[in-house]
Amino acid sequence: MELAGQAALLATWEAGLAAGRAGRALLLHTVARPGVGAAELLAVPLGERDAELFGLRVELFGEKLDVRVGCPGCAEEMEFAFEAGQLLGAARPAAGARTVSAPPSVTEALRVELDGWRVRFRLPTPGDLAAAEQAPGGLARAVLLERCVLTAEHDGEPVAARQLPEPVQRRLAEAAAAADPCADVRLNLSCPGCGEPALAELDIASYLWEELDDWARATLLDVHLLATAYGWSETEILALSPLRRRYYLELCADA
Ligand SMILES: [Zn+2]
């Protein structure tokens, strides 16, 4: 990674330390799509953002992702390796079907009808998740519904979004996931120990943040060790090629 890239990533990490989940996701998305304003990034469909975060992840840390999940059967910690392309490929509709099921834009209304309930709604965006995250405890889902439900009625009478019964809310979530599959990367796993099946969701924004956090702390440690040993500045140390940096660190460790 180039010096400018490393310095920018460290700045992103520093800004994200004080931010919540949505704030960190936005910071990462800004790295993935530089030069685009926050308002625009917060208004894209979640699946579009997540596909871009997968791309950034591949660029920064490579194709292979290790996913750790606790087994619901025996509580054993399971670890699985995936290729980023494989995860996105599974989430995306098949190439031939893409014209039929490409994610609708967030301005397009989706419809759900169930037992006399009729709901028109739009796909949630990162901005909706950010608003939901800031809602007082327990109200996150109500905020998300109010933002994304365009109209709701029961037997022809208009109702408030937060009054939609649980089965209708579930149907909305399913319809949103079907319309924007990259926003909802689910992994069907089974425990190598006890064979119990487990369903894991991969939230690429949180996953990538954790990796960035590990990378930033390791990088600062390298800077600390080399600055202490040689008196070099942070900029000078970040400008070293990975090979030279490792070589000097080994010399420090041997000394
Ligand atoms: Zn198990």
The answer on 70 and 195 residing in a single domain is yes
Q: Under a CB-based contact definition with an 8 Å cutoff, are residues 12 and 212 in contact?
A: yes
Q: Under a CB-based contact definition with an 8 Å cutoff, are residues 29 and 52 in contact?
A: yes
Last residue of a domain, one of 179, 200, 222: 179
CA of 66 to the centre of ligand 1 (A): 18
The per-residue pLDDT for range 203-227, each reduced to its tens digit, is: 999 999 999 999 999 999 999 999 9
CA of 149 to the centre of ligand 1 (A): 39
Number of domains composing the chain: 2
CA of 64 to the centre of ligand 1 (A): 23
The per-residue pLDDT for range 64-114, each reduced to its tens digit, is: 999 888 888 898 888 889 988 887 776 665 444 444 445 567 678 899 999
Q: Under a CB-based contact definition with an 8 Å cutoff, are residues 129 and 144 in contact?
A: yes
Across 15-42, average pLDDT: 96
CA of 202 to the centre of ligand 1 (A): 19
Taking CA 66 as the corner, what is the angle to CA 51 and CA 202, rounded to the nearest 5 degrees?
A: 45
- Whole domain around residue 152: which residue ranges? 104-179
pLDDT at 90: 66
Q: Under a CB-based contact definition with an 8 Å cutoff, are residues 65 and 207 in contact?
A: yes
CA of 15 to the centre of ligand 1 (A): 38
Q: Under a CB-based contact definition with an 8 Å cutoff, are residues 147 and 124 in contact?
A: yes
The answer on 161 and 116 residing in a single domain is yes
CA of 13 to the centre of ligand 1 (A): 35
Q: Across the strands, what pairs with 220?
A: none
Last residue of a domain, one of 179, 198, 229: 179
The answer on 82 and 11 residing in a single domain is yes
Q: Under a CB-based contact definition with an 8 Å cutoff, are residues 123 and 155 in contact?
A: no
CA of 187 to the centre of ligand 1 (A): 16
The H or E element containing residue 197 is: strand 197-202
Last residue of a domain, one of 120, 147, 179: 179
> From residue 26, how far is each of 42, 129, 176 by CA, in Å?
7, 11, 21
CA of 201 to the centre of ligand 1 (A): 17
The answer on 52 and 169 residing in a single domain is no
The answer on 125 and 231 residing in a single domain is no
